[in-house]
Amino acid sequence: MTIEVSGKSYETDEEGYLANLSDWNLELAEAMAKQDGCDLTENHWEVVNFLREYYDEYQIAPAVRVLTKAIGKRLGKDKGNSKYLYELFPYGPAKQACKYAGLPKPTGCV
């Protein structure tokens, strides 16, 4: 599978996750979100950027429970809960936000 952005084509897996982490850019993230009918707001970006930092440090995309806890620690309890994160990412916060972050599907996610 591929995704087209500004005339360039990027390789993805069958679920739309980017094949090469290094291909990632802001425009690509927005295009992926648009395909899911989602407009990325500042609140979405907070989570997406957090995931990219997490991956950079640990070389892994965290499972949703780990993400929720870590967001709570970083951004406060009002954001570190399932309700808030599922409102932003209805297809599953870890799964969906990892996709826009250009990361593989989270470890612990089936």
CA 42, CA 9: separation in Å to the nearest integer?
Answer: 26
Question: Which residue, among 39, 12, 14, has the nearest Cα to 23 in the 3D structure?
Answer: 12
Q: With respect to other proteins, which residue has the nearer C-beta, 90 or 108?
A: 108
Q: Per the residue annotation, which of 21, 31, 38, 109 is the catalytic one?
A: 109
According to the binding rule CB under 8 A, does residue 49 interact with other proteins? Answer: no
According to the binding rule CB under 8 A, does residue 74 interact with other proteins? Answer: no
Please count the helices (runs of H) and the strands (runs of E) in the chain. 5, 2
By CB under 8 A, which span of 23-31, 32-40, 52-60, 79-87 interacts with other proteins?
52-60
According to the binding rule CB under 8 A, does residue 57 interact with other proteins? Answer: yes
Cross-strand bridge partners of residue 10: 3
According to the binding rule CB under 8 A, does residue 109 interact with other proteins? Answer: yes
Three-state secondary structure call for residue 9: strand
Residue type, 31: A
Is 109 a catalytic site residue? yes
The single residue among 3, 31, 60, 75 that binds other proteins, judged by CB under 8 A, is 60
Q: Which residues are marked as active site?
A: 109
